[in-house]
Each structure stands twice: as C-alpha cells, then as structure tokens.
Structure 1
Amino acid sequence: MTTGAGEQAPRDGGRAARRLVSTMRARLAPRRVRAALSVAFVLALAGVLFTASAQLARGTERRHPEDLPQLVQSEEDRADGLSGRVDALRSEVDGLTAAQPGAVPTGDATTMENSGVEAGLVGVTGPGVVVSLTDAPTTGNYPAEITPDDLVVHQQDVQAVINALWSGGAEAMMLMDQRVTATTAFRCVGNVLSLGGRLYSPPFKVTAIGDQDALRAALDRSPEIAIYKQYVQAVDLGWKVKDDDDLSLPAAPPPSLQYASVPKGTDPFGDASR
C-alpha cells in the first residue's frame, strides 16, 4: 500500500517533538541539581541558626541581669556572700592569733617602738637641733627691686628645712609645738602659719632629734636653703640653727579618721526599682 506525502509530514513532526523534549530535559537537568543543592543549603543554614538560637536561649539565665532591680539584687547577694567569707576569715585569724604565745619577741617590740616614733605616737627625747626662721624688718635700706613679699618667710622655706632635716637622718621632728607626722599639713598665708587648725606668727621653729653634725650638714647641702640664705644676707631674713642636747618632743594626738556616711532617712537604693 502506497503512503502519500501527506502522511509523511506528521511522522516527521512527531520525531522533531521528541527530539525537542529530550533537548529541554538535558538542559533542565543541571538546573534541577543546582536547585536541589540550594534547597539543601538553605535547610542546613536554617538548622544551624535554630541550634544557635536554642543555645542562646538556654544561656540567658547565666547572663548578668540587665535591668537595674535585678542588678541591685545580684550585687546585694554577692556582697552578702563576700561578707560571710570575710567573717569566716576574721574568725580564722582570731583563732590563729589566740594560739600564738603571749610574749612578744624583742625584735618585734623594737620594730613596734620604731614605728610608734615614726608615726609620732610616742614621745621622744634626745639631742638635736633647733632651726628658727623669722621675717625681715619691714623698714630698711632695701634695693628697689625688693618687694614686701621678699621680706617674709614662705611656706617653701619651712618645707625646705623640714625636708633637709629628714634627709639628714632626723628621728623625730616638731614644727612649732606640734609633732610632725606623715599626715602633717601646714600652709602659710602672708606671714601667718596655719598648722593643725591653729595659727602661728613668726619666728617659725623646727625642732629635730638626731645626730647634730649630720643634721647641720643636711641643712648646708640644701639648695633651697642656700637661696633662703641669700635673702638673709640681702634683706636680713632671720636664720638661726642651735644645738640642744636635751630635747623633748611630745607625742602627737591620736589620729581621728573621718569617712563618708549616708544621711539619715536616705535610702541609697531607693531609686533602684524605678
């Protein structure tokens, strides 16, 4: 049976369609692989983020509180714990101290005595020197460049004497009638010395117990005192150093410590809950 040209065309069209489908499948295959990989990557990333979020959520209770009331409570609990630790350590120290022999070794007693002398807590007697500084006369035949400020003893002049005597090995010292200690502070206002809440007028006297030759040598070595002595020569400022073999320096009054406190009726944590 003979087939006409009209029947051959559909057969050729069917083959072309099958070839087109095969070609499209070949082209789409890599895209499907990439899409599958992308989906897998997104799912893996989502899993990692979910795990991290869960870990952070579990760790929230270990974080330091951020709101002020919780912070205050946390610090109060911490302070209570430390206070308990301090009490326990203090009890341990007290127990160890009570277990020690009652007698104090000679070396320790000497150390305590020396510390008391340095702190000014005990009276001291012995040889030493007395240095006196006083103002120059208010009237005199002074050069034109001399001012009234050059005629008075200044704070740095007194400080120079004290520093020189300490460097010369002074064992104890007294300014005017007050013992010089580590907490001694004085100030000169005009020709008045303010010391320990009291005011003194010149002459200003510094008393030091120690080796007299060493103390005098230290005064002579001081550059500040050398400058002061130039004014002694120029305007007749007062300067006198005297040896004394029987000096007596009284003890300084016990120090009174002051500290800040919260006024009555004030709650330091009153605004903590706001």
Structure 2
Amino acid sequence: MPQQPPVRSTPARPSRPDASMSLLTNVMDHSLDDGYAEAAARRKAAGTEGLPKTVRAKLGLAVGLVLAALVVTVGAAQARISAPVVAKEREELIDRIQQETAAADKLEDSVDGLRDDVSARQRRALKEDGGSDGNDLVGILSGAVEVHGPGVRLVVNDSKSAAQGGDGDPRETSGFSDTGRVRDRDMQRVVNGLWASGAEAISINGQRLTALSAIRAAGDAILVDNKPLAPPYTILAVGDGQRLSTRFQNSPDGLYLHALQENFGIRTSISAEDDIKVPAAPSVIVRTAEPSTEKGTS
C-alpha cells in the first residue's frame, strides 16, 4: 500500500494585539469621515480651498479682521476705563449699608434701654410708700415682682402620636384636626382652673401671667402675650401646694385635663413643691384711677 506524503502544516499567523478592539481601531485609522474626505478632495481639485485667491477677497478678509480687532480693542479700553468707577460706586454702596446698619443697631439698643427704664419705673411706682403690705400685694397681683414659695408644678405635653406626626379623629366638641395636640383653649382652661383653685402667681415656660395676659394660638403654636411657647408646657403656680393640687384636680378644669389624658393621650403630671420661683413679668402696664370729685345727684 503506497504511503501518503506527510501533510505539511503552515504556522498560524499571530493575531494583532488590538484584534478585539476593531471598532476603536477603525475609528483611529479613519478619523475623517469618507464624505468629508471626498468633499475636501473636490475642493482641492477645483482649487477653492485655502486662503482667498482674488485681491477683492483678500481685501474683504483683511477689513473683517481689522474690524474685529477694533471692536475687541474698544471693548477692552472701555472696560478698563469704567472699572475704577464701578469699584468706587460699589465701595460707596458698601459703606452706606454699613453706616445704616450701625445706625439701626444703635436705635435698637436705645429702644431696649428705654423699654427697660420704663419697666423699672413702673415697678418702682407699684412699690412706693415704703413697701407697705398693700403695695406688695399689688406688685404680686400685677406681676411686677418675682414670687417664690410653695406651690404646684404642672407639666402638660402633646401625645406621643402627635409628636410623631400621627393623625387622629377630630374632637367632636371643638373641631380640632389633631386630637393629640395641646391647644390654646386647653391651656386657658388649665390656667383659669389654677386661679380658681387659689393660685397667687402663675407662669408658663417662664412667662409670667398677669391680669392682662392673653393666651392665643398662631397655627400649631401657643402664644402667651405674643410670645410663642413650645411643648412641653411647664406651669408653675404659687400657693398652698398640696391643697392647690387637690382642689385643681377635683375642679371641672382639672377633670377636663384628665379627660384629655384619658381620651386623647395628652401627657400630664402634677406635683406639689415646697419652693418654686415665678419670675416677674417682662413689662407691666400701670393704670391708675382717681375718685370722681363730682357729687352724685339724688
């Protein structure tokens, strides 16, 4: 049997290192699109590429370059001339702002000083005549003096669900949209209940209450004499501590507060204290009255 000649194998050609990146290789090798290349070749063949050939075209190009250079030069010169003027006006404006701010601060300090002086004179007017017992009582009732002694500490706070943003059913009798929040009318009832139970001086979060104090609401905030207060509300009442606490809790207003706690989760705590301090009111309005000299007719 004749033998077949051995098959001679040809060595495999080594592959290019960038064979797997054919797209990138094509982009690098043909950076100019074929259409652009053909258009450039046509312009070259027609002799229209490069700078203008005619004298008229060259003059037009030169005039355009001169005009562009002139515009840039004039703009730079104007900016250079106006820069010091703008900087000076800016400095003058800053100086005026600083002067007016300093004047406003000085006037505000003067107003604060006059307000403090008026408050001090009002307090002295309430404590004239050698500090008699009657005038001391007037000072306490008007809130002109600081008061300390035995009393009651009452803390009223929103419910936990209200603090976390939870919603509840509205109160049927008052139309509140959030049952877990303490409202201004709740605080009014609490304060009135403490007065009726024998409190001699009351403050809420350090804000002294007087006969002219107002408890109002602005949105969700409670205002005491136009000063916003934030929960928890700490109410200090000077009086006969244990007796004041018992009488308040048994009063209709104390039972109302207990109902808020039971039905709507409002948190409350009350304790009798041996010594609490109620600050003086920040401002006191002095009002005087004189007896009439005219005799009544029979």
TM-score normalized by the length of structure 1: 0.49
Answer 1 or 2: higher relative contact order, Cα 8 Å, separation at least 6. Answer: 1
